[in-house]
Amino acid sequence: MTDAFNQIFQQMMEQGQKMASAFAPGLDGVDVKAFEKLFPAMPKEMLEAFFGKTFNPEGLDARTRFLVTIAALTVLGPLGEPQMRVTVKNALAAGATKREIAEVIWQMSMFGGPPAMQKALETAQAVFAETEEKAP
């Protein structure tokens, strides 16, 4: 990408974030990590039981359900941030890879727009970094 394009893209992202703040001013200053204390990542067996194939054996597994949920939360932009953090954690626990999560988020850029995609990627990257820090 050229410097001119990078500058235009950065301005577009900043404008998108300002618009998102204007649409959801109640989220300014909210500690989204506080939500995680209520909903920590579940063990893979529980994820499959609650979100996987227990109730619909021929249906989607937990990993796929979480990837679909990440797609929907991406389109919500900053409004979906608290749920996105928890869903990314649980998607990883259910067997989704970081690359799969990033690809789903990128795919949603055409539906939610680049600012929503950027927010979702930032949130996912923060969860990835926290997950790596906790790994033995």
DSSP annotation string for 70-102: HHHHHHHGGGGHHHHHHHHHHHHHTT--HHHHH
pLDDT of residue 102: 96
Structure tokens at 91: 């998607």
pLDDT for the residue numbered 42: 61
Hunting for tokens 């941030």 — which residue is that?
A: 81
In order of start, what are the domains of the chain with their CATH numbers? 32-134 (1.20.1290.10)
Q: What is the mean pLDDT of the chain?
A: 78
Mean pLDDT of 7-11: 69
Does the model's pTM come out above 0.75? no
14 has pLDDT over 90: no
For 21-47, what is each residue's pLDDT tens digit?
A: 665 565 565 555 555 555 556 666 666
Confidence of residue 17 (pLDDT cuts 50, 70, 90): low
112, 108, 71: which is closest to 88 by C-alpha? Answer: 71
